[in-house]
Chain A
Amino acid sequence: DGGITQSPKYLFRKEGQNVTLSCEQNLNHDAMYWYRQDPGQGLRLIYYSQIVNDFQKGDIAEGYSVSREKKESFPLTVTSAQKNPTAFYLCASKGGVQETQYFGPGTRLLVL
């Protein structure tokens, strides 16, 4: 099956800890995106990558880092500098005739 996978489904972070969220796609899409969703707010763009080995900051990149070493993979690291990391994190890739974005199932990050 083609699609986007994210792991883990739930992730717990301790104070001062860096954690990495996985995102993999087998849709052969060039562009990939990371968003966070908080209650009562729209999705906010963290980072995006339009092609392998290139990525750009989104609207709320502080406290996050990414890499794009392979077309299929776009992991997001939530660093200890991110003071309010509790959120629902969504990865997306873009492709198809209409250039629409397709989302993975998301990872819920909680701070202990």
Chain B
Amino acid sequence: QVQLVESGGGVVQPGGSLRLSCAASGFTFSSYDMHWVRQAPGKGLEWVAFIRYDGSNKYYVDSVKGRFTISRDNSKSTLLLQMNSLRVEDTAVYYCANVYGYYFEYWGQGTLVTVSS
């Protein structure tokens, strides 16, 4: 069955960096577009970034442009999110999800990123 497993979360100081990974299995990862979505503690879901199946196009929510980079390694069925210049407001659970049509089909369980001094 489809599995998406995020990792790489943790505690980081403001201005620091983290790299999140999402290991995919149970489907042909290289054929699917992918998303990152986040959820701050006690808040709603926020779409963060999208990448085409072949990495050819990437899109970001305005608040992370220039700081976050989404990428993928299709040979390893892995989605990545490089997060630089982290801010307190980036504190959230980060989920990866695959795209089917225009919706978020399967979701991982999330990884918590805490930005705090």
Do these two chains interact? no
Chain B residues within 8 Å of A, Cβ to Cβ:
none
